[in-house]
Structure 1
């Protein structure tokens, strides 16, 4: 296999001695500065990979629709950059981004995986997409998701089941599994997902990636097809912590149309990339949440990977603190989350502003259409039933506030910088099975930030020749993204656990 990509389309794309596999913002920009790469060549290289591995070959099925203007946008970027000093280029100049299909992009249909939203062509970009474009990024494609972001297996009526590129018999996590599988398979350089309960961190864990759920209020949600705005947020899914930091620089910021984003303004540093310290684990106190590990035979593969990863982290100067506080992720899932109580109200408000060509105006319309994937039908019906239960809803909001204070008190009392645990207590679910034993509820129920990094792989087998990825989650205090990035980067550098999937090798 040739590690340097070569376009096969026309004479304008000549061979570039640039390794597209596992490319980062830094390596792409270095190649552009040296004249070895153009934005058009980068876009063309990813389009070739999508054609070879997403639409044929293993048919990973992660890309829901391509941006028809991506190559033209790249050409405009190249023309704009011609003759400019490299330091004048935008921070994400020419970088192709995969965006989950519940986020509006002007000129590209946004369906959230549902046929009921066909024709939903936004007049303008979502706020975070505007920021991405201002930073120089190119929207390459919209990615598959679990329909209406309401499940963890990434299957939709619009595209079907997305496959995990490390084990084609398994799901890629969800609901942002299209972004996760696509970034893992090198179909784009950066990815954007959304997270209402687990949905950024689950695909990161399942696909050997980095996924950050930001503090609520750091990133705008304007232009998002919502599930429940108390918990919904948007964040990066990338192959490296450095790229997550660069992407967070682009998307974090105040949006007057999303008032909660005003809370983050005073907490945004000049650049999150300033916190990429390879020695960042020295002296850190990391609380290991014992109750977030499983004790059954199905949990042993994850526990083995986590034990090894934590041992490596300890060798880098971190102090591991056993935290035996009896916080149960399953109990929290059952008693604190509010997205199903909010879904009808928040989704109806979104649908009400859509163009007449979109044939639904409410969640009830979607259910009545009969065009609902079986995996979400029960969830949608439950959301309608819970919409009027205000006393239960208020009680859950109170439990969320109590959980915030409990965790802050725990971390303060034990002088803990972050809490650590596996994102999922068992390996990511096989296709056709529910996504069990995920631990993302702490961040979604509190609005506090959390980041997942690759911890390692389970033992290899026939279906997973490299093993199945396992993700380590780090959970922090509100607006502690700089701390999370510092610790995650140092751990990433020590673990070196990222590997490209064999199912989508370099093109010849």
Structure 2
């Protein structure tokens, strides 16, 4: 067997859950390692050991997409340059013997983030022919770190829906754990892609739910970071006062390595000026499996007890016991004074302003300058069409237009909400507050609106600006994932990284979906 064929065999075996070691004295042997999914560290170890190359890894992922994406419908565009980029990275490694932080790591990018030479459609007919001329700021940073943009992923059209991920350009994405159910929205394509092992790492955007919701529904780790920590420039916005972009990965460690690359100041997104002086030298130093020992974790029962499905409730109660067994002091309950009042009247809708600025700065199409132009192009989705009309007619605060919508850091209602939470955290010496990411399991695709219940991600973090991370906490009897969310203080990513990593390592709740090829009837 040639070394090339042997490497290809090893790579195939890795994806099937086996390890492969070369024995030059006789036949090759395999042993089960229960390793169906690869991490950044495992891939870099394999590169260093010359087990396989970046090009072979990309080929394997592309084959997996070809075999299984007919089931999930998660991928919209394959990067035709991915293999060539991988070859260049292989050549660089052969010459230098060193790996960049994300060297040769295949990346799935949500289809509202500008990627040079590839469509950025935001799931809409209006942008179906828009090809970005250059990468968004964060994509540049990821590419410089060695990541390979492998593909773009489907999303809810214009990021309107936290419920499901249906676009006019690609149709409906299905949950890889059960194809009759939603992967949530709007980053459901990234969620389904990473859960189905179509790439190593993924990017989503989150206006209210859209990183954490799909991560919870797909047994992933999702980081909604502090508003202002990561640039949003050259990304199709929903409401920029809320929008965050961040990692969606299978492990806390991988998500942390992505965050480490993308965090930082971007002159084209002035909100990131708030992050200056608040970013540590590196985030991976906080990956401490003992971080829960001595930690104080508060339980926000106003969310966890709100019409929670019995199975999700049981998983959450079990997670509290797990936190206790891993060394944390669980403070239960935590009460935020006037919580019900503070959380109201938080939503503002600057969609027109934000999207029309994006059209002007990036799309630069004379026939596509306003929301009315977008509406005229049309949509294949009744849901998206209704949301477009609603956003065209309303730009102020949803529930009370007399209350002004101010900046992300200066809005009086937002600041009051954040201060109320952080003051309670300070008084109780809490490291984080926890609650279920969803109080209910994923909805059925055919009933997504009536079964959309218990979305806790919308309530606090997008308005206060605080970081909130979701990690898997188990599965329901129908094998549908559920997640637990950790809420921290502003710029407390180091604390949340430690806590979520310790919980993940202490519980190992993630299980890969059992996808099967779709065969023609």
TM-score, length-scaled by structure 2: 0.89
- Is the 8 Å Cα contact of residues 216 and 482 (structure 2) preserved in structure 1? yes
- Is the 8 Å Cα contact of residues 66 and 140 (structure 1) preserved in structure 2? yes
Greater relative contact order, per chain length (Cα 8 Å cut-off, separation 6+): 1
Which residues of 2 match residues 477-496 of structure 1 at below 5 A? 477-496=489-508
The answer to whether residue 228 in structure 2 is matched with residue 217 in structure 1 is yes
One of 467, 471, 484 as aligned partner of 1:449: 467
For 1:89, the equivalent position in structure 2 comes to 99
The whole-number CA distance in structure 1 between the counterparts of 2:363 and 2:138 is: 22
The whole-number CA distance in structure 1 between the counterparts of 2:286 and 2:177 is: 31
Runs in 1 of length 4+ with deviation above 6 angstroms?
A: 10-13, 327-333
The 3 A distance-change label for structure 1 pair 452 and 303 is same
Moved more, 287-296 or 300-309: 287-296
* SS of equivalent residue, structure 1 residue 503: coil
The answer to whether residue 57 in structure 2 is matched with residue 42 in structure 1 is yes
The 3 A distance-change label for structure 1 pair 342 and 67 is same
The answer to whether residue 329 in structure 2 is matched with residue 319 in structure 1 is yes
Which residues of 2 match residues 401-440 of structure 1 at below 5 A? 401-432=415-446, 433-434=448-449, 435-440=452-457
For 1:146, the equivalent position in structure 2 comes to 156
* SS of equivalent residue, structure 2 residue 103: coil
For 1:3, the equivalent position in structure 2 comes to none
The answer to whether residue 395 in structure 2 is matched with residue 387 in structure 1 is yes
* SS of equivalent residue, structure 1 residue 16: helix
- Is the 8 Å Cα contact of residues 125 and 377 (structure 2) preserved in structure 1? no
For 1:347, the equivalent position in structure 2 comes to 355
For 1:247, the equivalent position in structure 2 comes to 258
- Is the 8 Å Cα contact of residues 126 and 374 (structure 2) preserved in structure 1? yes
The whole-number CA distance in structure 2 between the counterparts of 1:164 and 1:299 is: 19
How far did 1:378 drift? 2.3
- Is the 8 Å Cα contact of residues 287 and 419 (structure 1) preserved in structure 2? yes
For 2:482, the equivalent position in structure 1 comes to 470
The 3 A distance-change label for structure 1 pair 368 and 333 is farther
* SS of equivalent residue, structure 1 residue 494: helix
Output one character per residue of 1:418-474: Cα deviation in whole Å (capped at 9) or x when no partner: 0000001111211132232211121101111010000000113xxxxxx11000000
- Is the 8 Å Cα contact of residues 284 and 417 (structure 1) preserved in structure 2? yes
Output one character per residue of 1:114-166: Cα deviation in whole Å (capped at 9) or x when no partner: 01102211111000000000000000000001001110211111111100011
For 1:71, the equivalent position in structure 2 comes to 83
The 3 A distance-change label for structure 1 pair 414 and 222 is same
Runs of at least 5 residues in structure 1 that lack an aligned partner in the other structure: 1-5, 461-466
Which residues of 2 match residues 61-460 of structure 1 at below 5 A? 61-85=73-97, 88-152=98-162, 153-294=164-305, 296=307, 299-325=309-335, 335-338=345-348, 341-355=349-363, 359-371=367-379, 373-387=381-395, 391-394=402-405, 397-432=411-446, 433-434=448-449, 435-440=452-457, 441-460=459-478
- Is the 8 Å Cα contact of residues 217 and 262 (structure 1) preserved in structure 2? yes
- Is the 8 Å Cα contact of residues 352 and 362 (structure 1) preserved in structure 2? no
How far did 1:317 drift? 0.8
How far did 1:387 drift? 1.8
How far did 1:195 drift? 0.4
* SS of equivalent residue, structure 1 residue 377: helix
* SS of equivalent residue, structure 1 residue 280: coil
The whole-number CA distance in structure 1 between the counterparts of 2:340 and 2:368 is: 34
For 2:29, the equivalent position in structure 1 comes to none
Matched pairs, number = 483
How far did 1:12 drift? 11
The whole-number CA distance in structure 1 between the counterparts of 2:130 and 2:149 is: 17
Output one character per residue of 1:181-201: Cα deviation in whole Å (capped at 9) or x when no partner: 000000000000000000000
Moved more, 344-353 or 478-487: 344-353
- Is the 8 Å Cα contact of residues 437 and 455 (structure 2) preserved in structure 1? yes
The 3 A distance-change label for structure 1 pair 357 and 454 is same
The whole-number CA distance in structure 2 between the counterparts of 1:315 and 1:355 is: 53
Runs of at least 5 residues in structure 2 that lack an aligned partner in the other structure: 16-35
TM-score, length-scaled by structure 1: 0.91
The whole-number CA distance in structure 1 between the counterparts of 2:396 and 2:229 is: 30
